[in-house]
């Protein structure tokens, strides 16, 4: 327990007390650090009155599904996998900058379909306070479906979440953020299962090279833009490594392969979303947060 950090201990207690008061919850659980901490907290607070539900679709890497299963077993929480059909929605596929809204709306609809059999009416997400300042159309869908955000309500920042995960000995306490595969597709380029499968394979290849934080972004013209931390760029530009990387990615179906000289940075594709759309979404998101 984080007893050597009074502020974190107070937040931990507030989190558990709040979940106990809800009596029974379903956690929208991706296996990422935030939802893992909520799943752990829900299990500690509620035991078998807590259930974790993970979405399975072409936008989720197979490795992430397996890791989510393993961590749920480690926590001890009941775990369900639900198939989502966001790719059947033309508004999701067109990927105009609001794709995340339609993804989360589909996820919450699927979870709501499980609630009667689970005798529960409360869905919890892993959103933390830092998410409020980011471009997150999915939070609008969460508000529409009356999803609770226990980490936000208990005052957790991302740093707090990692600190509590470490105190609870969760293996993902330092796991890099891993948003869905569709988030790698540039706005305006259609999100398709073929493209997400190609991105998944490309990123799996980078993982074999020893990289931990990276992205393969897909742009118009089937161009792959590879992001790795700036300190790791030199290793990737070794002629032999680079030649193998280009050969492999072109073999997957990318026509062009580029390295981003600015290096890895989360959310870099948000720069391509029109400012007007970002401002409009941020305003709606702010209303949803209040």
Give the three-state DSSP class for 157: coil
Q: Of 63, 152, 69, 145, give the one whose Cα is nearest residue 104.
A: 145
* Measured distance CA(55)–CA(70) in Å, rounded: 15
Distances (CA, A) of 258 to 188, 236, 273: 19, 11, 21
Q: Decide if 6-167 and 181-265 have a common fold.
A: no
Q: How high is the pLDDT of residue 135?
A: 73
Which pLDDT tens digit goes with each residue over 196-237? 999 999 999 999 999 989 999 999 999 999 999 999 999 999
| Fold topology of 181-265 | Alpha-Beta Plaits (3.30.70)
β 215-219/223-227 pair status: antiparallel
Composition of the chain by helix, strand, coil, percent to 5: 55, 10, 30
Q: What is the pLDDT of residues 240-272, one digit of tens each?
A: 999 999 999 999 999 999 999 999 987 767 666
The yes or no reply on domain 6-167 and CATH 1.20.58.1910 is no
Over 70: is that where the pLDDT of 276 sits? no
Q: Which residue has the higher pLDDT, 160 or 1?
A: 160
Task: Map residue 50 onto helix, strand or coil.
Answer: strand
pTM for the full predicted model: 0.89
Give residue limits of the domains in the chain: 6-167, 181-265
Rounded to whole angstroms, the Cα distance separating 253 from 198 reads: 7
Report how far residue 87's alpha carbon sits from residue 58's, in angstroms, rounded to the nearest whole number.
Answer: 8
Task: Classify 215 as helix, strand or coil.
Answer: strand
Alpha carbon distances (Å) from 274 to 96, 188, 202, 281: 9, 11, 28, 11
Q: Which residue in 96, 278, 280 sits closest to 187, CA to CA? A: 96
Per-residue pLDDT averaged across 108-112, rounded? 97
């Amino acid at each position: 327990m984080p007893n050597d950090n009074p502020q974190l201990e107070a937040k931990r207690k507030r989190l558990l007390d709040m979940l106990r008061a809800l009596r029974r919850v379903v956690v929208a659980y991706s296996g990422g650090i935030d939802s893992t901490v909520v799943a752990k907290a829900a299990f500690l607070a509620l035991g078998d009155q807590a259930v974790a539900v993970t979405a399975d679709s072409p936008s989720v890497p197979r490795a992430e599904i397996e890791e989510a299963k393993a961590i749920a077993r480690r926590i001890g929480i009941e775990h369900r996998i639900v198939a989502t059909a966001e790719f059947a929605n033309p508004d999701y596929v067109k990927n105009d900058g609001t794709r995340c809204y339609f993804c989360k709306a589909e996820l919450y609809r699927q979870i709501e379909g499980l609630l009667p059999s689970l005798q529960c009416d409360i869905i919890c997400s892993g959103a933390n306070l830092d998410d409020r300042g980011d471009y997150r159309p999915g939070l609008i869908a969460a508000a529409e479906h009356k999803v609770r955000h226990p980490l936000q309500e208990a005052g957790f920042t991302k740093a707090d979440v990692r600190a509590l995960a470490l105190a609870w000995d969760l293996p993902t306490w330092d796991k890099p953020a891993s948003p869905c595969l569709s988030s790698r597709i540039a706005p305006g380029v259609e999100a398709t299962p073929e493209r997400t499968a190609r991105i998944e394979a490309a990123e799996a290849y980078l993982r074999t090279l020893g990289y931990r934080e990276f992205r393969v972004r897909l742009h118009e013209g089937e161009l792959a833009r590879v992001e790795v931390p700036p300190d790791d760029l030199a290793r990737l530009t070794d002629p032999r490594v680079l030649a193998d990387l280009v050969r492999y990615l072109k073999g997957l179906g990318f026509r062009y392969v580029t390295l981003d000289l600015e290096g890895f940075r989360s959310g870099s594709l948000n720069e391509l979303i029109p400012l007007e759309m970002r401002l409009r979404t941020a305003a709606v998101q702010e209303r949803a947060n209040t």
